[in-house]
Structure 1
């Protein structure tokens, strides 16, 4: 069977010794698209969107720090405990989505402590751009030929030629398009049920859907953490469970109101 061969160069273009990676471009697009969607939501609800630029800064810092620390200590703890200075080498790659999500929440909470902000209300609104953000990030992983799927003989398998010649599940694309679907679903619910939704429902639904997808796709992924090779479930699956429980609680709480 002929499989699709993926051999994209992770580097989009270079200026002398400086290289710009596709992952960086898509990460920046994820951030900017999220900000623009939030500005649209604020305009739609006739709110002042000026504070969003400051919140955006807190969220970006939270995502980068949280994602980096989670990758270092959940996926490669032995290496980074032996080489602690390399935790700062973000440019070399290694960001974990669970940590990024938690970091974003902490960033928003820190902002709330300094300024006026309805925390749960804001989380509901940021759920939609966050799903879009996840879509772009997984496309970046695809461009990097990383976060690989397990081998398969399914007709849509992809050979990541920069890694090996094994046909694999395109796990990055499974997640990317699942997150895009979730973003569209959340947007439709937001528009059609805006006046009936209680605070926390939309964000709770986001958590439940996103991390159920994460658990399911992990079954066809190559294990990222070396210590998890012989475990029944992957590190990503274990880390997803608390987010699902929190999401279910937020939905129950909102529906009870």
Structure 2
């Protein structure tokens, strides 16, 4: 008889009176705090104004939460929410979509670039997506703590039995399932390491759009493939050749590949790295030849 992993983790970290602090919320908080520090190091390295950081954080947090919520509402369960629109605000009941979060961040960065930096949005994307990859991995660990978004039944020795999950008890009781949250988390953490290496060791930011292109491909191609062994999130996906997550991933993968090709065909932009925050909104300086 195979020994599988019995998963009984409590999704709540601790309580403050009636308020439950969940591991999923902690993953978001830690991700944004660590991400802010990484972004601050990058901005200082390139001599960007420090005040841009707080503004970028606000746009990113708002874009992530609003986009992820609306993505879930419109991509997956509009038939339910259209009858009770006020419930869209009940984010504590769950229901966030990573594709919607990505779209929200893209819109936020474009507005941030137009209003604050006055630079090509790709400048921000190339720097922001580095910590975003880390946040994505942490959020998938939050999904693991919630015993949600797991995969089909498996006989592999690392299969998980999600005893706290109603879905698992109804569909797979007694069977182990793919811990797809861990698969995705490992992909995203690996991507984070690659992007850090590209930025700090290879100066890939000097090829506009390259880091962003690698990010989009590295996030959504694994997502597309892992979806083949994940359970459908909503019933209507059962009739689809590819599920909603896969259809939504395809455009991002194509855009990512296109950005990589675009970046590699253009000349490298040589940039000075003063290792200090700018005193004013100044453009990056080219290296002296």
TM-score range with shorter-chain normalisation?
over 0.9
Question: Alpha-carbon deviation of 1:47?
Answer: 2.9
Once residues 173 and 204 of structure 1 are traced to their aligned partners in structure 2, the CA distance between those partners, rounded to angstroms, is 24
Once residues 85 and 239 of structure 1 are traced to their aligned partners in structure 2, the CA distance between those partners, rounded to angstroms, is 26
Aligned equivalent of 1:74: 75
Once residues 86 and 214 of structure 1 are traced to their aligned partners in structure 2, the CA distance between those partners, rounded to angstroms, is 28
Question: Alpha-carbon deviation of 1:192?
Answer: 2.2
Relative to the length of structure 1, the TM-score reads 0.96
Contact 1:62 1:106 (8 Å CA) reproduced: yes
Aligned equivalent of 1:221: 230
Question: Alpha-carbon deviation of 1:181?
Answer: 0.2
Once residues 62 and 202 of structure 1 are traced to their aligned partners in structure 2, the CA distance between those partners, rounded to angstroms, is 20
* Secondary structure in structure 1 of the residue aligned to 2:21: strand
Once residues 60 and 129 of structure 2 are traced to their aligned partners in structure 1, the CA distance between those partners, rounded to angstroms, is 13
1:161 to 160, 163, 188: 163
Aligned equivalent of 1:252: 261
Aligned equivalent of 2:14: 13
Task: Extract unaligned runs of 5+ from structure 2.
Answer: 267-289
Matches within 5 A, 1:1-257: 1-118=2-119, 119-163=121-165, 164=169, 165=173, 166-194=175-203, 197-257=206-266
Contact 1:212 1:244 (8 Å CA) reproduced: yes
Once residues 196 and 117 of structure 1 are traced to their aligned partners in structure 2, the CA distance between those partners, rounded to angstroms, is 18
Once residues 209 and 16 of structure 1 are traced to their aligned partners in structure 2, the CA distance between those partners, rounded to angstroms, is 41
Q: Cα distance 1:256–1:85, how it changes in 2: closer, same or farther (>3 A)?
A: same
For residues 82-113 of structure 1, what are the alpha-carbon distances to aligned partners after superposition, in whole Å with 9 as ceiling and x for unaligned? Answer: 22111110111111000001101111111222
Q: Cα distance 1:195–1:222, how it changes in 2: closer, same or farther (>3 A)?
A: closer
Question: Alpha-carbon deviation of 1:33?
Answer: 1.4
Contact 1:74 1:225 (8 Å CA) reproduced: no
Higher Rg: 2
Question: Alpha-carbon deviation of 1:15?
Answer: 1.8
Q: Cα distance 1:35–1:117, how it changes in 2: closer, same or farther (>3 A)?
A: farther
Contact 1:63 1:104 (8 Å CA) reproduced: yes
- Misfit runs of 4+, over 4 Å: none
Question: Alpha-carbon deviation of 1:196?
Answer: 7.5
Of 242-251 and 175-184, deviating more is: 242-251
Q: Greater RCO between the two (CA within 8 Å, min separation 6)?
A: 2
Contact 1:23 1:140 (8 Å CA) reproduced: yes
Kindly report the root-mean-square deviation, in angstroms, between the aligned alpha carbons of the 2 structures: 1.3
Once residues 72 and 159 of structure 1 are traced to their aligned partners in structure 2, the CA distance between those partners, rounded to angstroms, is 29
Once residues 176 and 106 of structure 1 are traced to their aligned partners in structure 2, the CA distance between those partners, rounded to angstroms, is 25
Once residues 65 and 77 of structure 1 are traced to their aligned partners in structure 2, the CA distance between those partners, rounded to angstroms, is 15
Q: Cα distance 1:203–1:195, how it changes in 2: closer, same or farther (>3 A)?
A: closer
* Secondary structure in structure 2 of the residue aligned to 1:140: helix
Once residues 95 and 197 of structure 1 are traced to their aligned partners in structure 2, the CA distance between those partners, rounded to angstroms, is 34
Once residues 17 and 198 of structure 2 are traced to their aligned partners in structure 1, the CA distance between those partners, rounded to angstroms, is 48
Task: Extract unaligned runs of 5+ from structure 1.
Answer: none
For residues 153-202 of structure 1, what are the alpha-carbon distances to aligned partners after superposition, in whole Å with 9 as ceiling and x for unaligned? Answer: 11110100112233100000000011000010111111222168410011
